[in-house]
Amino acid sequence: WPVVCEPFTQWVLEDHFANGRPAFEDAGVQPVEDVEPYELMKLRLLNAGHQALCYFGYLAGYRYAHEACNDPLIVDFLLGYMNEEARPTLAQLPGIDLDAHCRTLIERFANPEVKDTLARLCAETSDRIPKFLIPVAHAQLKTDGELRRTAAVVASWARYAEGVDEQGETIDVVDPLKDELMERASRQREEPTAFLDNRELFGGLVDQPRFRDAYLAALKSLHDNGARATLEMLVADAK
């Protein structure tokens, strides 16, 4: 029976073999000297892109990734994160057109046949954002690079962890650290850095004024104006 699948494929293989190898490149595989830069590309563009999408998308009222990625405002935000914040942290990637790659990621996220739920992407965040997104923040701090969108994604997670959406409906927060995360989030309207103060997840980002100020601005906007207005602000500020 036919199975709907993505048209996208990518195979990157570190070309270290003891005694020759088959002609993997004839089957579309990209042999490379060092696979780590390609792994970081996946983590910081695809995986972190999912994180940039899911909390804002959920709070804005969407429930599926393809619905959110058919919203031009969300697409502008995602491409801004990818191009202005994630890509500067990546090494040279021979054989990869990053402009085309980022556009392809948006197309993949917007594929209605995948039907990926935002709730799935929002789950287990304490195991995702520290690996996918926080390294982008640290790298951009070192180079004085742009990081407002990265900080806003962390703020959107903090807002999501309050457990109630903008319509007053309960959010089922799924995370091994759920109790701690929700307790911190419950205090953040009075203690704005309560969530970011978690050094096990965020290291010393709370001590970095550029990141902290961007985070607090996004969190305040999420509370005062909502997810969509916050995205509009972030996109407009970048132009």
Task: Please check whether residue 39 lies inside any domain of the structure.
Answer: yes
Instruction: Check residue 12 and give its pLDDT.
Output: 87
Task: Please check whether residue 21 lies inside any domain of the structure.
Answer: no
Task: Check pLDDT > 80 for residue 7.
Answer: no
**Continuous segment of H or E residues that includes residue 29:** strand 29-32
Give the domain CATH number at 114: 1.10.1040.10
Q: pLDDT tens digits, residue range 130-140?
A: 999 999 999 99
Please state, in angstroms and rounded to a whole number, the distance separating the CA atoms of residues 15 and 173. 42
- Chain-centroid distance, C-alpha 163: 20
Domain count, the chain: 1
Q: Taking residues 195-213, what's their average pLDDT?
A: 97
Residue 150 token pair = 């990265």
Confidence of residue 165 (pLDDT cuts 50, 70, 90): very high
What's the whole-number average pLDDT of the chain?
94
Task: Please check whether residue 9 lies inside any domain of the structure.
Answer: no
Hey, which bits of 35-117 come out as E strands? none
Higher-confidence residue of 113 and 127: namely 127
Task: Please check whether residue 24 lies inside any domain of the structure.
Answer: no
Q: Taking residues 213-220, what's their average pLDDT?
A: 98
Which pTM was predicted? 0.92
Task: Please check whether residue 6 lies inside any domain of the structure.
Answer: no
- Residue whose token pair is 């990818």: 82
Task: Please check whether residue 88 lies inside any domain of the structure.
Answer: yes
Task: Please check whether residue 20 lies inside any domain of the structure.
Answer: no
What is the domain range of residue 88? 31-237
Give the count of beta carbons closer than 10 Å to the beta carbon of residue 213: 12
Q: pLDDT tens digits, residue range 26-85?
A: 888 888 888 888 999 999 999 999 999 999 999 999 999 999 999 999 999 999 999 999
